[in-house]
A = this chain, B = another copy of it.
Amino acid sequence: MAASPSETTSPEIRVAVDLIVLTLREGALSVLLIQRDDEPHRGAWALPGGFIAHGEDLEDAAYRVLSDEASLGSGAVHLEQVRTFGTPGRDPRGHVVSVAFMALGADLPDPRRGEDVADARWWPLSDLCAVTLAFDHATVLDSAVERARSKLEYTTLAVTFLPEEFTVSQLRGVYESVWGTTLDAGNFHRKATRTEGFLEELDRYAAPTGGRPARLYRAGAGTSLVPPLLRSGD
Contact = CB atoms under 8 A, between A and B. Distances in A.
Interface in A73-102: 81, 83-84, 86-88, 95, 97, 99
Given A12-B12, A13-B15, A14-B13, A54 B95 contact: yes
B57 A97 contact: no
Contacts of A56: 88
A26 to B, nearest CB: 33
A84 B87 contact: no
Q: How many copies does the complex hold?
A: 2
Nearest to A55: B88
A58 interface: yes
A11 interface: yes
Contact of A58 (B57, B81, B97): B97
A147 to B, nearest CB: 12
Contacts of A87: 57-58
Interface residues of A, number: 20
Nearest to A90: B57
Nearest to A12: B12
Contacts of A99: 84, 86, 97
A216 interface: no
A83 B81 contact: yes
A171 interface: no
A72 interface: no
Contacts of A55: 88, 95
A12 B52 CA distance: 11
A233 B144 CA distance: 31
A30 to B, nearest CB: 26
Given A57-B88, A81-B84, 6 more contacts: A13-B54, A52-B97, A56-B88, A57-B86, A58-B87, A97-B97
10 contacts: A12-B12, A12-B54, A13-B15, A13-B52, A54-B95, A55-B88, A56-B88, A58-B86, A81-B84, A97-B97
For the complex of A and B, 6 pairs with smallest distance between CB atoms: A58-B86, A84-B84, A55-B88, A84-B99, A15-B97, A13-B15
